Chains A and B, each alone.
Chain A
């Protein structure tokens, strides 16, 4: 049996169409599976699954549950004027540096000591670090607790 030119030309195109459609379906289903894995899997089947691919490794949302206790991190030099701790971090972050540094400290408390280490490694300057905890429900303008730390070439320690 011979295959006409038109049929022969169409054969690979049909294959490509099917492959493309299979890819579209796979991508849609995978994205949906990742989203459901983070929203309802725990409630429905009692666990989450490892779906391997990085883009479905985490949920999609920030600020879904907002902490009622907010912690700010500031420092002062000898003049006593307070600045946000993000000013001591060299790596820029356009428009969100304070949030990035605050989030890093909240994720890993050691990050504050890392900021202190990098700020003092090339100088003999010392800083006072202020960690203010705000109870947002009670009074978001006045800290409920303040921790004062000393940061110098020897490291970060309570004052």
Chain B
């Protein structure tokens, strides 16, 4: 019988049979990074022009010395960073893509915090650092896998290490977002009522601003409590197999609700909504696939053949 310690580490060791959740997360994460950073990296002159108003958010040395960097170097760095992000999306050497894009994005975020909304990128540094150390993410749906197939090689299976730690990182952020809200007094107030009554153009989407039914005390109080329940409860319930799929459905609905109602960056949604899918183990994916086959009546590729 395995010891509790071995059971604990088993989550981080060995490989996954089904690598699709990790591949999906890879595509979503790097695509979200591209959506978040590329406009500023393409529009280099506005945000990174000499004399531009800048804000220091990350590395003080890079912020101070930014103006010493020759412009061609800054432009070359932006191009290399965008190429690395693209390599991550298509699954071409994702670990190298994470290292290069991580260094590049961190440098640009340090040069000027204005164009990249700092709060959305805190967890980005964790995931990029993790990816740089652990690697993985290209066993399927990737250029790496395609190249391996073309040359008659077999791709090594997806290691569990990155996916499990990335899930931990994501859930830690969600859980402590809930804890911070409790400490800020959410249970005794109607903070969602405040948030949803903000004027047009201030954090809420226009349809929320114009939907009076969303501003009543009953619904906003329910949303306040739902936020706390999802943020504190779901990271725990995702751990247990019995509650995982229901918890994941609620978790996904929650993040869909946030991006539908509030003007938050797509990077926020890409990291957290797709990060939740890393909770799906091989059996969960097989079970979801079986249900989908039953509902939509399609056959496996092998069965069809």
Contact = CB atoms under 8 A, between A and B. Distances in A.
A76 B55 CA distance: 27
Interface residues of A, number: 63
B154 interface: no
A10 interface: no
A27 interface: yes
Contacts of A111: 53, 114
Interface stretch (B83-91, B123-131, B274-282): B123-131
Contacts of A140: 197-199
A3 interface: no
B46 A91 contact: yes
Contact of A72 (B169, B174, B202): B202
Interface string B184-198: 101000010011011
B53 A90 contact: no
The dominant DSSP class at the B interface is helix
A96 B125 contact: no
A108 B168 contact: no
A152 interface: no
B194 A66 contact: yes
B173 interface: yes
A140 to B, nearest CB: 4
B114 A31 contact: no
A97 B35 CA distance: 12
Given A66-B194, A91-B46, A140-B197, A24 B9 contact: yes
Contacts of A39: 176, 179-180, 183
Interface stretch (B16-24, B64-72, B249-257, B263-271): B263-271
Contacts of A60: 122-123, 172-174, 176-177, 180
Contacts of B298: none
B43 to A, nearest CB: 5
A32 B169 CA distance: 9
A154 to B, nearest CB: 17
Contact of A70 (B133, B169, B199): B199
B180 A95 contact: no
B177 A91 contact: no
Interface string B17-61: 000000000000000000100011001001100001101001100
Given A64-B184, A70-B198, A74-B201, A58 B55 contact: no
Contacts of B149: none
Contacts of A136: 194, 197-198
A80 to B, nearest CB: 18
Interface residues of B, number: 60
B161 A20 contact: yes
Interface string B139-161: 00000000000000000000001
B19 to A, nearest CB: 19
A123 interface: no
Contacts of A96: 117, 263-266
A118 B46 contact: yes
B181 interface: yes
B287 interface: no
Given A39-B183, A91-B115, A140-B199, A55 B123 contact: yes
A31 B197 CA distance: 34
Interface in B181-226: 181, 183-184, 186, 191, 194-195, 197-203
Contacts of B195: 63, 66
A27 B176 contact: no
Contacts of B299: none
19 contacts: A28-B168, A32-B172, A38-B176, A38-B180, A58-B119, A59-B176, A60-B122, A60-B173, A61-B177, A63-B195, A74-B201, A91-B46, A93-B39, A95-B259, A98-B202, A110-B53, A114-B53, A132-B199, A143-B199
The 3 residue pairs across chains A and B that have the minimum distance between CB atoms = A55-B126, A99-B263, A55-B125
